[in-house]
Structure 1
Amino acid sequence: MTPRYARRTTLAVATAVAAGALLSTGLTTSASAQVPADATTLAAAPTDLTAAARTSLIQQAQTDAAETAQSIGLGAKEKLVVKDVVKDADGTVHTRYERTYAGLPVLGGDLIVHSKAGRTEGVTKAVKAAIKVASLTPKVTPAKAEKQAVGLAKDAGSAASAADQAPRKVIWAGDGTPVLAYETVVGGLQDDGTPNQLHVITDAATGKKLFEYQGIENATGTGKTLYSGSVSLTTTLSGSTYQLYDTSRGGHKTYNLAHKTSGTGSLFTDADNVWGTGAASSSSTDQTAAADAAYGAQETWDFYKATFGRSGIKNNGVGAYSRVHYGNSYVNAFWDDSCFCMTYGDGSGNNHPLTSLDVAGHEMSHGVTSNTAGLNYSGESGGLNEATSDIFGTGVEFYANNASDKGDYLIGEKININGDGTPLRYMDKPSKDGGSADYWSSSVGNKDVHYSSGVANHFFYLLSEGSGAKTINGVSYNSPTYNGAAVTGIGRDKALQIWYKALTTYMTSTTNYKGARTATLSAASALYGSTSTEYKAVAAAWTAVNVS
C-alpha cells in the first residue's frame, strides 16, 4: 500500500483537530473573519511573551470567560475555555477559545476574540450558527456508536474489537448545524503499521455517521547526518556519558525504539559526543538517524523562535521528543499529540530513514496547527492543514541554510520515497506530482488532503516568488496562474509572516479556501496595511489559484 507520513493528535475540547502527513495512505464550512483596521507596519506582529506573561494572559482570559461569553452574545448554556493567547506588538490580544454547551464539548465551536485595551474589536468563529440543540437525551445508545466506529476502524486495518474509551457525548457543530452526537475513538494499527486513532462522530438521534478523521498525521556535539552533512548538536554530559538531550530547546530528547512500535524507547547516549556516521544503517543501534532527527528538531525550534518569536510547538517553552527506528521497514513518520513526540520509521529495508530536515519541520508543524487553528483534517481545511506543514517545513529548510540540503520549494526531495529521485510535492506547480491541484475548484475538497493542499502551496509559492520561470538555489521553477496574469512575489519572509499570523489569529478549525483568503488578507492588513503592496499581492496570489 502507498506509504504515508502521519500524525496522531488528541481531540481538543471544541475542535475536531485531525491528522496530517507528507504522504497519503470533507469538511468545508467557512469561518467568518473581520479585517482589522490598518496598523503601522509590523505593529501587528506577535510579541515574544515570556512563559509567565503568557500564563498570566491565559489565566486572566479564563477568569473573564463568563463575561466575554456574554459580551459576544453566547447563550446561557455556553461556556468558554481558553486554548491560546497571542499578543501583538501594538497591544492587540487574540484569545482563542473552545466552547462547551450544557457541559458538553462543542466540536467545531472554536472562536477567536480580538481585543485591544480591554475592548473587543472583532470575533472570528468556526461556525456562525447559534449553539443550541433541542434535546440533550440521546436516542441512540453508546454501544451502537461504538460498533459503528469499530467497524470503520476495521476497514482501515485495525484489529481493535472495542473503542479506547466509552463514546462521549458532544455537540457536533462542524457542519454548521449543531446536533447532539457521540465521539468515539478506536486504536490499534492501520494496514501499514501506522498507529490508528480513528475519531468517529455519530448523530445521537439517528445513528448516522456525521464525520470521521484519522488522528494520526502523516512529517555541542557533532552529528554526522545522512541528509544534512556534519552539523552541531546540543547535547548533555551526564557523568562521563553524553546524552542526545538538548536542554537549551525545552528539553528535547532523542530516543531509540530499536524497531519496536510502542513505548518511549531508550535515550541515545555516546562516549565521544560524535553521533552517527553519515551513512544509512539497518542496525537498531544506528545513531545516524538520531542525529538527523535531533538536528531537525533543533532547526525547527530555532526557526519558530527566530521567525515568529514562538517558543516551542505549544509556545510554552516546552520541547517535544523524537523517536527513531520505529517498526520494521516502516516507510512513514508521524507527529503524536498524545505523547507530544515525533516518530520516524527507517524506510524500505530499514536503511532509508524518513528523517530529512523538511520532513521534521513538516511533521512538527502539525503540532503547531493543532495548538492554534486546529484545522480539521478533512476536506478543504485538511488541505490547508497539510499545506501549513509544507509551508513551514519549507521555511525550516531555508532557515537552516544547510549546504547539504539547500532551501527549496520541493517537499521530501531527500528521502526518495518515489524511488526515482523525484520529490513528493512541488509548490510552484503542484500538479507535477500527478495528483495535486494547482487551482481551486468546487471538487478540490474531495481530494486526499495531500493533494488538495496544492492550492495553498501554489498560493504560498506565488506570494513568495511570483509567477513564471526562475532558478532558486540551483532548482528551476516555472509557476503558472489560473487567469494567465503575472504575479509579483513579496518574498518568502513576508509570506511566512502573513501565513503564520493568519493561522494563529484568524483561522479556525473549519476554515476553507475562501476563509483562508479572508484570513490572510486580514493578516496582511494587520501587518502591512490594507492599501499596501503586500495586501494587494495576497489578493493577486489567491486570484491566481482561482480563490476569490
Structure 2
Amino acid sequence: MKRKLTAGAVLSASALLAGAIQVAAAPAHAAPVQQREALVALAGQQAAPVAKALALGGQEQLVVRDAVVDANGTRHLRYDRTYAGLPVLGGDLVVHQKANGTIASVDRAFVGRLSLPSLTPALSAGTASTQAVDSVRATVGIAPADEDASPVSRVDGASAPVLVVWAGDGSPRLAYQTAVQGERADGTPSSQRLVTDAATGQVLSTHEEVQTATGTGKGVHVGSVTLTTTQSGSSYQLKDPSRGNQWTGNAKSSNALYTDADNAWGTGSASDSQSAAVDAQFGTGATWDYYKNTFGRNGIKNNGVGASNRVHYGNAYVNAFWQDSCFCMTYGDGSGNVNPLTALDVAGHEMSHGVTAATANLTYSGESGGLNEATSDIFGTMVEWYANLPTDVPDYLIGEKINIFGDGKPLRYMDKPSKDGSSKDSWYSGIGNIDVHYSSGVANHFFYLLAEGSGAKTINGVAYNSPTSNGSTVTGIGKDKAAAIWYRALTVYFTSSTNYKGARTGTLNAAKDLYGTGSTEYNAVAAAWSAVNVN
C-alpha cells in the first residue's frame, strides 16, 4: 500500500484553528515502536511545509521531537523551533492533523514570527557562567518554592553556557542557558538550568533538573516501604538521585530501568515483576544509608556513585551475586521462580562485596576468601538491624527470608555456623582449603561472640546458643561496636592476603584505635578470637 507523505500540500491558513483539542490515548496495540518511528520520520518530512503554513520566518526551522497517532488516525506532531540555528526556548508547538493530513489545530508556546536585532551577545560566555553560579550561590540555605525540595547547600560549578533564544515570556531575546551543579541539603544532587539575558545577565528562568519523588512499594520480602524515585515527565523511574542514582532494572528486558505511571510499585507478590525490584531498590538504599550514617561512607566506593540492580536473572536461578566490573548486583528468582533472592540481608551482603573490593580487596580464596564472605555476612546482617523492618525482624541468621532449601531454614547461622551442616565454628590448619562460604563460619562466629557473647539467649524472638572452642565464657560488647571494629580493620588494616591470624591482629589494632589498649572492647576482641581457636 502506498502511503501519502505530502500532507503539507493541503495545508492552508484557513485550516489553522485556534485552541487545543482533546487528545485520546492510543491503545497499546496501535503504537508499536515501528509505527512511532515511521510517524516521527513523517513528521520530520513535514517540518518545512508546516513551518511555511504557520508563516514562520525564514530563519526559523522546526525540529521534530515526538509524534503520536490515535486509533482513528489523528496525528499529533510535536516540534521544537530554532532561529538562525539557535534553540528557541519556549518556541515549541504541537500540530494536530486529521487522518487525511489536513491540520485541525495547532498549540503553540509562542505565537508569532521571531525577530531579533542581533545575534551577537553583549556578555561573554564566561561572564554569563559566573553570573549564573553567583545567582545559585545566593540561594544557598534558602528553602525553594517547591515544598518537596530541600535548599541548595553547595555549588560546585557550571557547564559551558549555550547561546539560545528565549521566548518563554513572549518577548524573544538572545540569552544563555547554563547548568549549575551542586548538592541539596538532604544529599540530593542539584542541577539547576538557568536562562540569563545575554545583554544584561538578568535571570529569565531557572529550573531544577533533578526531580525526586517519594513513591510507595510493596516488596516480596520488605513489605510496604517508601522509595525515593525520579520523576521523568509524567512517569517515574526506579532510580534514586539522592543515593548516587542507584537504580533497578529487569534482566528479562535487557536490564531495562523500571518505570511506573503512578509511583506505586509492586504488589508484594512474586508474580508481580515490580515486587522483587522493590526489594532490591530498598535494600540498595538501606545499605547506602547504613554505611553513610554509620561510617560516613558515601557509597560503595566512597565516591558518591550508586550501584545498579538487575532482578529476575535467568530461569529459577537460585543465587545472587555482585560484579565489581559492572558495579551491579544480580538476583535470581529462586526455585520455581517464586522465591526471589532479594531479601534485605542478601542485598547488604552483595553490596558489601563491593565495599571489600574497594578497600582490603580480600582475595576470594583460602582464608582471605573466608574473611571476604564473612565481611558480607557481617554487614548484610548489620543492614538488616539498621533497617529494622517489621516484615524482616533483625537477627543473626543469613538468608532466612529466601527459603533457599525449601524448608524454611536459613542459609547460614552466625551463633553456631556448623548448624548448616558445612560451615566451621572454629579455625583449624586446613580451613583455607574448603569453600569460602564455609570457612567464613570462623569469622561469623567471632563476630557473633564479640557482639552478643557466648551461651544461650533469645534475641528478637530467635533462640541462640553460641559455643566456644576453649570452653570460655565471652561477654559481648554490642553489635554496633563489633561492626565498628570490623569496618576499621577492613578499611585500614586488612590486605588482599589477610588470613585469620592477620584478622586477629587487624581487629585488635582497630579496637585499640577506637577504644584503647586494654579496654573492655580490646579485651573482648582477643577473647572472641581465642573462643574460635584463633590465637
Q: TM-score, normalised by structure 1?
A: 0.58
Alignment of 1:38-437 (within 5 A): 220-258=214-252, 265-281=255-271, 286-437=273-424
Does 1:478 pair with 2:465?
A: yes
Structure 1 residue 52: Cα displacement: 12
Residue of structure 2 in register with 1:528 after alignment: 515
Structure 1 residue 51: Cα displacement: 12
Structure 1 residue 446: Cα displacement: 1.2
Asked if 2 retains the 8 angstrom alpha-carbon contact of 1:499 and 1:520, the reply is yes
Residue of structure 2 in register with 1:42 after alignment: none
Structure 1, gaps ≥5 residues long: 1-49, 54-219
Asked if 2 retains the 8 angstrom alpha-carbon contact of 1:51 and 1:317, the reply is no
Larger Rg over CA atoms: 2
How many Å separate the matches in 1 of 2:510 and 2:363?
A: 21
1:327-385 Cα distance to aligned partner (Å, 9 max, x none) = 11111111111111111111122221110000000011000000000001111100000
- Which residue identity is paired with 1:539? A
Asked if 2 retains the 8 angstrom alpha-carbon contact of 1:363 and 1:389, the reply is yes
Query: SS of the residue aligned with 1:287?
Result: helix
Question: Cα distance 1:428–1:235, how it changes in 2: closer, same or farther (>3 A)?
Answer: same
Give the number of equivalent residue pairs. 326
How many Å separate the matches in 2 of 1:51 and 1:331?
A: 44
How many Å separate the matches in 1 of 2:501 and 2:373?
A: 16
Residue of structure 1 in register with 2:109 after alignment: none
Query: SS of the residue aligned with 2:491?
Result: helix
- Which residue identity is paired with 1:467? S
How many Å separate the matches in 2 of 1:297 and 1:225?
A: 13
Asked if 1 retains the 8 angstrom alpha-carbon contact of 2:300 and 2:352, the reply is yes
Query: SS of the residue aligned with 1:234?
Result: strand
1:453-489 Cα distance to aligned partner (Å, 9 max, x none) = 0000000000000000111111000000011110000
How many Å separate the matches in 2 of 1:368 and 1:358?
A: 15
Residue of structure 2 in register with 1:70 after alignment: none
How many Å separate the matches in 2 of 1:515 and 1:296?
A: 31
Asked if 2 retains the 8 angstrom alpha-carbon contact of 1:290 and 1:324, the reply is yes
How many Å separate the matches in 2 of 1:547 and 1:51?
A: 48
How many Å separate the matches in 1 of 2:433 and 2:265?
A: 44
Does 1:539 pair with 2:533?
A: no
Question: Cα distance 1:530–1:51, how it changes in 2: closer, same or farther (>3 A)?
Answer: farther
How many Å separate the matches in 2 of 1:355 and 1:51?
A: 35
- Which residue identity is paired with 1:494? K
How many Å separate the matches in 2 of 1:381 and 1:545?
A: 16
RMSD: 1.6
- Select the structure with the greater relative contact order (CA < 8 A; seq sep ≥ 6): 1
* Identity level (%): 74
Asked if 2 retains the 8 angstrom alpha-carbon contact of 1:51 and 1:316, the reply is no
- Which residue identity is paired with 1:369? T
1:143-200 Cα distance to aligned partner (Å, 9 max, x none) = xxxxxxxxxxxxxxxxxxxxxxxxxxxxxxxxxxxxxxxxxxxxxxxxxxxxxxxxxx
Structure 1 residue 405: Cα displacement: 0.2
Question: Cα distance 1:235–1:419, how it changes in 2: closer, same or farther (>3 A)?
Answer: same
